[in-house]
Structure formats: structure tokens, C-alpha cells
Amino acid sequence: MEKFNALYAQSGGVTAVINASACGVIQTARAHSDKIGKVYAARNGIIGALTEDLIDTSLESDAAIAALRYTPAGAFGSCRHKLGAIEKHRKQYERLVEVFSAHQIRYFFYNGGGDSQDTAHKVSLISKELGYPITCIGIPKTVDNDLPFTDNSPGFGSVAKYVGVSIREAGLDVASMALTSTKVFIMEVMGRHAGWIAAAGGLAAEQENQSPHIIIFPEIPLDTQQFLAKVKDCVTKHGFCSIVVSEGAKNADGNFISDQGLVDAFGHKQLGGVAPVIAKLIKENLGYKYHWALADYLQRAARHIASKTDVEQAYAVGKAAVEFALAGKNAVMPIIVRDKGATYSWSIGEAPLEKVANVEVKMPRDYISADGFHITQACRDYLLPLIQGEDYPPYHLGLPQYVQLKNLPVDKKLTTTFDIAC
């Protein structure tokens, strides 16, 4: 049997565990070196594929590849770039065929969220539309936890754990200071359209008096008066009030509470800084001294406090992607399936790429408490398994010893360049 090469790429916002998926892909491919040739990585996602900017992962040691399992962010570079529709941007697809063909690539693994699975789906059309035999498998990843079909999205569990740990710790801090200093603490977390990450903060509050007391979800437009009444009630009852707010929080007329006026390459508004707006609202109406934090990239890069469950699942979907390809599957994405039963267990299933692309799963309403400011037991039951276990990276001289790959380029075989915007 002739062996063909594989191309792996990372896309969209990176996570603490996307490299664990890369590790799963590469280790599994190496274990099947009788069937798969080299694993190339596209530098910066699909852009590297279009521009023939490929990395030869076969030049990395087994130890370096193993270290990907505990190294956060995207070891090969990621991108925010979608392929155009094949009807209008046929040149992009023809270029991919040129690159695939030049490097004997017949397997394509694309690791990303909803937008990226759209790209993976489009690449999978190449076989039929252009007649080049490419096996295309998507690998799920997103801290937003908004992918359909899968029980959860690899990357999310680790952010969830970070947010739960952080708001528990900060809550103890504020409780200590509340008598003569800070009475209100606000932590802003990611989640543009869905409140999954904010919800995870709620896990830290095992009792009513514990941090966080209030969660502001993007799914529930903020009722200012109800919110201020609840803040006041918390400070009166507990001496302080701890709040988690989603970056995507909206006011009563449906607009983002904070909007920097920037859009990213996918056309999404870039948000940031709802926490200070909430702080100002509280200060002006209730007079409480406040502090606020905006974790931003710290939360999704926080491999030092990753969820062991999340790491294992991220690895498993990478491994499954290669196994799927070898089993002759195509245009699918491995998913996490929550098994039935009282204790949490999971297995790998699959979903068709065309149904995964561009779907955003929001929080079910029954995961949010009736007053809109906290999570329900159903939500807790869903979330809690995802943050279980610690998976500490190795440390050297006091800091995590993450791997820096050599990322040596594959010699170009094409003589042409390519404008990715065409």
C-alpha cells in the first residue's frame, strides 16, 4: 500500500489543550507509520496550506511531540481565516489541490471551532468538486463550548476550571477586605455569545454565601434595577459581593454592554471591558468600593491549571481523527459522547462536518436560575465533570517548561505564490 502524507492545522482562538490534540494526531500517526507517511503541519492554519508554508513534524523528537500534551496555545500557529465558498473562490481550492498533490497529502486534519469546521467542511468538498482524493477530518476545539453534537468542546473544561479556581480565590480575598475596603469584585470572562465560561464560575459557589454571588450571562439581558438590588442584598447579607460577567453581556435593548468598536477577521465584534462598566454602575448607584479583573488570554492559555479531563478529551479527539481517517471515514468530526450512568464517563462518537459548521450552541435556559443571575443544579451536573482532575505541566526554575518546536519548513515544491484573499 502506497503511503500518503497528512496535513494537520490549528485554527481560530487557541486553547490550553489544542496542542494536546496535535499530540494525539501526531503520536497516533507515528504509531501507524505503515499507513501514514509524514505528518506536515500548516503554519498558521489554512493560510499555511494555501501558501505552501508547511512544517515537517517528522523532524521533531518523540519527546518534543509528547511535550505538546502539556504546552498551551498553538504550536504551529493559528489563524482567523475562512475559505471562501467553492462556487466563488474556486482558485483557493485548486491551490489546495496543488499543494496537497505536490506533497502527496491525502489526509487533512483541521483543529478548530465552528468557523474552522466550516473550513474543514469546505476542504472535504474537494474530493467531489475537484476530483482530488482527500480525507478530511475536523477536530473540535473551542473555549466557547458552542460546538454542536459534542458533549463539550475541548479547551472549554480548562477555561472552566481556571475561572472556577480564580473566582473562588478572589472571593476569599474580597471577603477578607470587605469591612474597610473593597466590597464588590467583578471578574470578566470570555464568551461572546454563550455564557458557558461565565457559568463555570458558578461552580465555585457551593453555598449561597460563597463567591460568585452573581453571574451575568449574555443570554439574559441585564435588568439594571434587579441587578443592583441583588448586589446590595449580597453586601448586606455576606459583607461583600462577587460577580462573574461574560464579555458578551447585553443590556436591556440587546446591545453589548461594552463594545470597543473593533471587529475581527471573521467579522465578529471584539469585546473587552464590560467589567469596568458594571463597576461604574455599582459605584454610582450604591457607592461600594470595587475591584475588577479581566482575565482575557490568561484564561484560555492557563495550561498550569488545566482540567485533566479536558486534556484527556483533547488528546482523544486528535487520536480519533487519525483512526477515523484510517478507517475510511471522511468529512466527519470526532465528538465527546457523555455515556449514560450516574458517574461521568465518556466515549468518542462522530458528527458530519456539514452539520457542525457555523452552528453555535447556547446555554439552555434551564441551566440558568429563574432570576437569571446564577446556575442551576442541572448546569452544575453538566459542568462539574468537565473540570475534574489536575494535569500539571513540568516545571523548570520555577516556571512551566513548555516545549518550543523547531518547526522546520518543508521544502517548497511549487514555483508559484498565492494571494489568500483571492
Distance (Å, whole) CA 288 – CA 240:
9
**Three-state secondary structure string covering 198-227:** HHHHHHHCCCCCCCCCEEECCCCCECHHHH
Buried-exposed string 249-263: b where 16+ CB fall within 10 A, e elsewhere? bbeeeeebbbeeeee
377 binds its own copies (CB under 8 A): no
175 binds its own copies (CB under 8 A): yes
Contact 169, 180 (CB under 8 A): no
Crossing angle of helices 308-326 and 18-31, rounded to 10°: 40
Closer to its own copies by Cβ: residue 292 or 324: 292
398 binds its own copies (CB under 8 A): yes
Compute the 3-state secondary structure of the chain and give helix, strand, coil in percent, each to the nearest 5.
Answer: 40, 20, 40
Given the residues 144, 151, 310, 391, the one annotated as active site: 144
- CA 91 vs. chain centroid, Å, equals 30
202 binds its own copies (CB under 8 A): no
Q: Pick one of 161, 192, 213, 319: the residue that binds its own copies (CB under 8 A).
A: 161
Site for its own copies in 306-325 (CB under 8 A): 307
Q: Pick one of 276, 349, 352, 409: the residue that binds its own copies (CB under 8 A).
A: 276
296 binds its own copies (CB under 8 A): yes
Closer to its own copies by Cβ: residue 77 or 372: 77
Contact 95, 418 (CB under 8 A): yes
Q: Pick one of 3, 85, 91, 172: the residue that binds its own copies (CB under 8 A).
A: 172
Q: Is 173 a catalytic residue?
A: no
- Total residues at the site for its own copies (CB under 8 A)? 82
Q: Pick one of 169, 208, 233, 419: the residue that binds its own copies (CB under 8 A).
A: 169
170 binds its own copies (CB under 8 A): yes
At its nearest, how many Å lie between its own copies and the CB of residue 397? 6
Site for its own copies in 74-93 (CB under 8 A): 74-75, 77-81
Distance (Å, whole) CA 8 – CA 55:
10
289 binds its own copies (CB under 8 A): yes
Nearest to 99 by CA among 412, 408, 407: 412
Site for its own copies in 203-242 (CB under 8 A): 203-204
At its nearest, how many Å lie between its own copies and the CB of residue 350? 27
Secondary structure (DSSP) of 307-363: BHHHHHHHHHHHHHHHHHHHTT--SEEEEEEEPSSSS--EEEEEEEHHHHTT--PPP
Stretch that binds its own copies, among 95-103, 106-114, 191-199, 254-262 (CB under 8 A): 254-262
At its nearest, how many Å lie between its own copies and the CB of residue 292? 6
Site for its own copies in 113-152 (CB under 8 A): none
Q: How many CB atoms lie within 10 A of CB 32?
A: 14
Mark 4-43 with x for binding to its own copies (rule: CB under 8 A) and - for no binding: ------x--xx-x---------------------------
Using left for φ > 0, alpha for ψ between -120 and 50, and beta otherwise, residue 296 falls in left
Give Dmax (Cα) for the chain: 75
At its nearest, how many Å lie between its own copies and the CB of residue 135? 26
Stretch that binds its own copies, among 102-110, 111-119, 166-174, 346-354 (CB under 8 A): 166-174
272 binds its own copies (CB under 8 A): yes
Q: Pick one of 90, 268, 365, 406: the residue that binds its own copies (CB under 8 A).
A: 268
Catalytic residue IDs = 144
